[in-house]
A and B are shown apart, each in its own frame.
Chain A
């Protein structure tokens, strides 16, 4: 009955590798997000998808590519990993259709360590 789930929880990899993080929500929400939280706990939005369409794309290196196969899933693929990509990545979802605004529900996070 998990609302927003992410896999894996921990990811340790070498510089230059390509990796993916998966996210699924079972809340029936129409909007999903990826956030990056750095070592100082600063949380910054990376991408947002509404009904499988990209609506927010912050200044993120194009090595990061989100993919939304359906409304319930938003995956994050990262190419050519760099040391600076080490962080905790959070997926979130919300119901933002028809001008409704509200809380976002966060997944447990994926701690990525690039060696």
Chain B
């Protein structure tokens, strides 16, 4: 199976609710990143968490990283319709700058 597996594959919530997406990976990493992709667009970087960090915040985003379980979660609080997009986790490992992407979570926020 792939490095950076995500669940759920799809998530549908109401505006104002929180959305949580999870990502699991298999190897040792330098960092883990989350990206958003709106339909028909390129990926936009949201947040990066290094392997020695456990939690990071950016606005309404909260990311956690558990290297012992090789997992990460992305929490979006007080969701908005504009948050509707696909969300991908990506891990960077080794000495290069290669990113390995997960399969993504499609988030739909209903107004």
Contacts and interface: CB of A to CB of B under 8 A. Distances in A.
Interface of A: 4, 31, 40-45, 48, 50, 55-56, 90, 92, 94, 96, 101-109
B108 to A, nearest CB: 14
Given A48-B98, A90-B42, A106-B42, A101 B103 contact: no
A24 to B, nearest CB: 14
A105 B44 CA distance: 7
Q: What is the interface of chain B mostly: helix, strand, loop, or mixed?
A: strand
Nearest to B86: A41
- In order of increasing CB-CB distance, the 8 nearest A-B pairs are A103-B45, A106-B42, A96-B97, A43-B101, A106-B43, A108-B42, A41-B104, A109-B42
B33 interface: yes
Interface of B: 2, 30-31, 33, 35, 37, 40-45, 48, 86, 88, 92, 96-101, 103-104
Contacts of A105: 45
A32 B45 CA distance: 15
Contacts of A109: 40-42
Q: What is the interface of chain A mostly: helix, strand, loop, or mixed?
A: strand
Given A45-B100, A104-B33, 7 more contacts: A41-B37, A42-B103, A43-B101, A56-B98, A104-B45, A106-B42, A109-B40
Contact of B31 (A48, A55, A101, A106): A101
Contact of B96 (A40, A41, A56): A56
A106 to B, nearest CB: 4
Q: Which of A31, A94, A101 has the most CB of B within 10 A?
A: A101
